[in-house]
């Protein structure tokens, strides 16, 4: 025996030592590369999910603004209707010398109400369009989130496959990654 003695290494220590030198097994290298690629794709999908969620919120806000503007227009329409009703009442109870004035007022209020009604209906239509855009963005956001989740599960399976060296886990990792990429494609295509 020498002064230094001898060293007994476990199989995992030998593997780690070789992996540190760039001599890891083919499976280890493949899974490491796969994990890096999937993590990058997952980061892009995560970004897209956040962007679509933010857009959905902005679109919903625009819908609420248009809805409020439409409500204001309908209130204005009601005020003009009240004034028209008062002019009609005044026409019936006032002297005939004032009839022409009140008839002109009634005609003016009718015309103003038509314009206000058209504006309110236009704003309501815009509100519905913004709501639909928001819903579309939220659907797309959910697709991005599903894709990101599938890729995260794939990365977790990759770590377990590295530790256990089970080929079925490597297949499951690939299947989850494929599902994640497919969901990402669906999100990109707005499906």
Which residue pairs from 28-36 have beta carbons closer than 8 angstroms and sit at least 24 positions apart in sequence?
Answer: 28/162, 31/158, 31/161, 31/162, 31/170, 31/173, 32/162, 34/158, 34/173, 34/174, 34/177, 35/155, 35/158, 35/159
**Using one digit for the tens of pLDDT, what is the confidence trace for 3-42?**
666 666 665 565 556 555 544 578 888 898 999 999 999 9
> Is the whole-model pTM more than 0.85?
no
Show me where the domains of the chain are located. 49-188
Please say whether the beta carbons of 144 and 49 come within 8 A.
Answer: yes
In angstroms, rounded to a whole number, what is the distance separating the alpha carbons of residues 147 and 159? 19
**Secondary structure of residue 69 in the 3-state scheme:** helix
The pLDDT assigned to 185 comes to 94
Q: By C-alpha distance, which of 55, 45, 59, 47 is closest to 187?
A: 45
pLDDT digits (tens, 9 = 90+) for 40-99: 999 999 999 999 999 999 999 999 999 999 999 999 999 999 999 999 999 999 898 998
Tokens (6 digits) for 135: 């819903």
b/e 124-162 (16+ beta carbons within 10 angstroms → b): bebbeebbebbeebbebbbbbbbbbbbbbbbbebbeebb
């Amino acid at each position: 025996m020498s002064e230094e003695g001898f060293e007994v290494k476990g199989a995992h220590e030998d593997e780690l030592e070789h992996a540190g030198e760039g001599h890891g097994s083919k499976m280890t290298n493949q899974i490491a590369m796969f994990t890096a690629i999937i993590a990058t794709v997952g980061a892009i999908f995560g970004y897209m999910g956040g962007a679509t969620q933010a857009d959905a919120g902005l679109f919903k806000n625009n819908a609420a603004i248009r809805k409020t503007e439409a409500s204001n227009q309908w209130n204005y329409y009601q005020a003009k209707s009240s004034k028209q009703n008062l002019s009609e009442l005044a026409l019936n109870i006032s002297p005939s010398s004032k009839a022409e004035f009140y008839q002109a007022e009634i005609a003016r209020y009718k015309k103003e109400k038509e314009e206000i009604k058209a504006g309110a209906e236009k704003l309501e239509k815009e509100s519905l369009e913004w709501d639909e855009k928001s819903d579309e963005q939220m659907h797309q956001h959910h697709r991005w989130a599903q894709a990101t989740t599938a890729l995260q599960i794939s990365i977790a399976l990759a770590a377990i496959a590295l530790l256990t060296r089970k080929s079925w886990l490597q297949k499951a990792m690939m299947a989850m990654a494929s599902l994640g990429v497919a969901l990402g494609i669906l999100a990109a295509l707005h499906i």
